[in-house]
Amino acid sequence: MAERKIVDGRGSFCPGPLMELIVALKSSQVGDELEVLSTDKGSVNDIPEWINKVGHEYIATTEADGVWHIMMRKAK
């Protein structure tokens, strides 16, 4: 059954939120939804770009109190 996971990359400059997402995807199943939390504005562009490049499904990005929430679904 598909799960929803939070990937908490807040305050992470290195390895950073995208690397945390890549790690989290390794132990996720196709269909799982992952929500990345990031305090780095660069994630707003970097993460969707990578999601699209690899062929996963980008869902949406929202912002609240200086934290960006980037939602995606593992597609393969």
Contacts to another protein by CB under 8 A: 8-20, 22-23, 26-27, 42, 46, 49-50, 53-54
In the numeric block, the tokens 């939804």 are attached to: 33
Q: How far is the CB of 8 from another protein (least distance, A)?
A: 7
Q: Has 14 been annotated as catalytic? A: yes
Total Cβ atoms within 10 A of residue 34: 22
CA distance 10 to 7: 9
24 DSSP assignment: H
Catalytic residue (choose from 6, 9, 12, 14): 14
CA distance 31 to 25: 11
Q: How far is the CB of 67 from another protein (least distance, A)?
A: 13
Q: How far is the CB of 62 from another protein (least distance, A)?
A: 20
Residues acting as catalytic residues? 14
